[in-house]
A and B are shown apart, each in its own frame.
Chain A
Amino acid sequence: MEFFLQLLVNGVCVGLLYGISAMGFVMIFKASSVLNFAHGELLALGAFFFLSLVTWGKIPTAAAFLLTLLGCFLLGFIIEKFFLRPLIGEKLIFVIMLTVGLSAMFKGMILLIWGGNLQTYPEFLPQWLEMKIGSIYIAPVYSSALMISIVFLVLFGLFFKKSSQGIYMRSVADNQKAALSLGVHVRRVFALSWAIAAMVACMSGIVLGIINGVNVHDLSAIGLKVFPVVILGGLDSIGGAIIGGIIIGLLETFTGGYLSPSLRDVVPYIVLVFILMVKPYGLFGLVEIERV
C-alpha cells in the first residue's frame, strides 16, 4: 500500500512536469497549428541560459530568472519571424520538417556551447518547501514545481480570458479568416504567441533542470514525450495538457513500478496509438469538420 501511494505521488509529480512542459507546445499549436518538434530544445535552451547566468554570470537567482524569460521571449519572436512566417499556408510536412531541422540546429548549438554532460544548478530552493505526509516524502523541488505551474496556469487563464491580446489569440485560433476580417492583426498574434510559448517553454526547462539537472539529451527526449501528453489532453487545451501530463506520468510510474522498468518509456506511445485509433482527434481534441 505504501509502495502504491509513493508511486501515486511520484506519478503525479512527474506528470505535472510533463504537463508544464506541454503548456508551451499547446500554446503554439493553439495559435498557429504548428506541431513543434523543437520543443525539447526550447526547454533546454531556457535551462542552459539560466544556468549560465546563475553559475558563470553570478547574477542573483530572481534577476537571472527574469532575464532568461526575457531572452526566451525574444528568441520566440525571432523563430517566428525568420523561420515560420514564410511557411504560412505551406504544406504540413514542410512545417513539421522545419521544426525538426530547427531542433537539430538548436541541439547542435547547445552541445557546441555547453557540452553534453549533466550539469546542476546551485542549491537555491528554501527548505520549508519540503513536504512530508505520513511516510510519503515530497522533495522541495516537486512542491515548488507544483506551485510554479499553478501560478502560471492561473496567469495564463487570466491572460486568455481577460486581456485583449489573449482574446485576439483565441479568436485567431478559432478562425483565422474571421479574425482577420474583424481587424485582428494575425501576424502580430502569431509572433506574440511564439514569444509567449518560448517563454513558457524556458520556464518549464528551468523547473525540469532544477529537478533532474540540465542535460540536452534528457530535455529533448521530454520534448518528444510531449506528444502523447497533448494527444491525451487535447492538442488545443492548456488545462488538458496538465491532465494529460498527470495521466501519462501515472501510467509511466505504475508500469515502471509493477511491470517492467524498460516498458516505462514506451508505454505512453502504445496508449497513444490506441487512443488515436478510437478517437482520431485525441481525448479532448476538437473534431475538425472537413469539406471537399
Chain B
Amino acid sequence: MKKFSFHPCGNFRESYLQELTIFETWFGRVSLLVFLVVLMVGAPLFLSNYLLYILNNIGIMAIAAVGLNILIGYTGQISLGHGAFFGVGAYAGAILATRLGLPFYICIPSAGLITALIGMIFGIPSGRLKGLYLTIATLAGQFIIEYVLIQWESLTKGTMGIALPEPKLLEMTISGDRAFFFVIFFCLIAMTWFAVNMMRSKYGRAFIAIRDNDRAAEGMGIPIFKYKLLSFGISSFYAGFAGSIWAYYMVSITTEPFNLGLSVEFIAMVIIGGMGNIPGSIFGATFITVLNEILRYTTSLLMNVSFVTSLGLNMAPLREFVFGLAIVLFILIEPKGLAELWRIVRSSFRLWPFSY
C-alpha cells in the first residue's frame, strides 16, 4: 500500500480510505515531521528574539485563521466578526486569570469555550440569513461586541485595559518569546491536527455539503441550522483560544486592536492562504503577518529618509494601501491562494521535466 515512495504518476486510488488520506506518501509524512522537529528545536536555538516574536505572532494568528477557515472555507458562512471574537477570547482569558486566579492551562481553553458560546449566539442569525445578509449581520455583531467590550467597564475596565499575571506551568514561569514559542506552536500543531481530522469526519462532510448547497444538504437529511451553529461555535473557539494566548503573550490588553480591521485581516489570511485548505490558513497568516512587519519596517525607514521628511509626507498610510493591494491582487490573480501556488510548485517538481 503506502510505500516510502514519491507521488504516484496518476490517480490510482482504490478505496475511499485512500481518498481520505492526508499524506499520500510516507515521504510527505516524514518530511513534515522533520520540518516540525527542526522548527521546534532550531527556531528557539538560533533565531533572535525579534524573529521569534514574529513567529509567535504568526502562530497565534494562524490558530485564529484556521478557525475562520472552518467557517468560511468549509461551511461557506462569511463572518466579519472574527476580530471581535478574538477580543472576546482575550478578555475572557484575562478576566478569568485576574478575577478567579485560574492557571493558564485552564484559562485558555475555558476562554475558548466562552467565546464559542458567544460565537454561537451571534451565529443564530445564520439559521435564517444567507450570503450578503448574513455578512451584514456579522458586521453588526462586530460593532456590538466592540461596544460591549469598551462600555462594560466593571468587567473589562474599558479603555484602561487589563494586565495579566505571568502564566505558570509546574512551578515554572512562562515568560519571554522563547518560552511562549513552545506553548504557541504546541497549541497550533494540536489545533491544526484537530481541524484537519475533523474535516475528514462526519462533521466536516456535513459542513462541506452545507457550503456547496445548503438546501440540498437539508434535503439529504443534514440538520443545517445545528451544523451552522456548530461551525460558528468551533470557529469562535479557535478565535477565543488564540485571543487568550495573545492576551497572555502581550501581558496587558486594551480594546483597541479588536476592531473591524482585525476581522478583515483574518479574512484576508483565509483568502490569501486558500479557502477550504487548512494548511493554507497557516500560509496566509504567515503572509499577512510578515507583510505587516515588512511594511512597518519600510514605512519607519522611509520616515527617516531626509527626502521624504523634507516633503512633509506621512508614509504610514502606505501600509494600508499595500495591504489592500495584496488582497485585490490575490483575488484577481490567484483566488485559490497560496495553497494552490504551493501545489503548483510541488507538482511542477514532480512532473519535471515534463511540467507544463
Please name all residues of chain A whose beta carbon is closer than 8 Å to the beta carbon of B268 when the two chains form the complex: 97, 101
Please name all residues of chain B whose beta carbon is closer than 8 Å to the beta carbon of A231 when the two chains form the complex: 133, 136
- A91-129 contacts to B, CB under 8 A, are 92-94, 96-98, 100-112, 115-116
Contact count A vs B, C-beta below 8 Å: 138
Of B147, B151, B317, the residue contacting A112 (CB under 8 A) is B317
A270 touches B271 (CB 8 A): no
Interface of B: prevailing SS: helix
Residue B114 at the chain A interface, CB threshold 8 Å: no
9 nearest A-B residue pairs (beta carbon)? A108-B321, A104-B324, A101-B327, A111-B317, A105-B324, A108-B320, A269-B140, A101-B328, A266-B147
**Extra contacts besides A97-B267, A224-B260 (16): CB < 8 Å:** A86-B332, A93-B78, A93-B271, A96-B135, A98-B327, A104-B320, A107-B320, A108-B319, A231-B136, A262-B147, A266-B144, A269-B143, A273-B140, A276-B128, A277-B128, A292-B213
Contact with A along B324-350 (1 / 0, CB 8 A): 111110011001000000000000000
A108 touches B215 (CB 8 A): no
User: Nearest Cβ distance between residue B71 and chain A, in whole angstroms?
Assistant: 11
A35 touches B132 (CB 8 A): yes
- B260-316 contacts to A, CB under 8 A, are 260, 264, 267-268, 271, 275, 313-316
B324 touches A108 (CB 8 A): yes
B317 touches A93 (CB 8 A): no
Residue B58 at the chain A interface, CB threshold 8 Å: no
User: Nearest Cβ distance between residue A34 and chain B, in whole angstroms?
Assistant: 9
Residue A16 at the chain B interface, CB threshold 8 Å: no
Q: In the complex, what distance in Å separates the CA atom of A266 from the CA atom of B150?
A: 12
Given contacts A108-B319, A269-B140, A281-B133, contact A94 B335 (CB under 8 A): yes
Residue A2 at the chain B interface, CB threshold 8 Å: no
Residue A235 at the chain B interface, CB threshold 8 Å: yes
CB nearest neighbor in B for A231: B136
User: Nearest Cβ distance between residue A123 and chain B, in whole angstroms?
Assistant: 27
Q: In the complex, what distance in Å separates the CA atom of A280 from the CA atom of B132?
A: 11
- B190-223 contacts to A, CB under 8 A, are 213, 215-216, 219
Given contacts A92-B78, A105-B324, contact A273 B137 (CB under 8 A): yes
Residue A70 at the chain B interface, CB threshold 8 Å: no
Residue B20 at the chain A interface, CB threshold 8 Å: no
A270 touches B324 (CB 8 A): no
Of A87, A110, A276, the residue contacting B125 (CB under 8 A) is A276
Residue B129 at the chain A interface, CB threshold 8 Å: yes
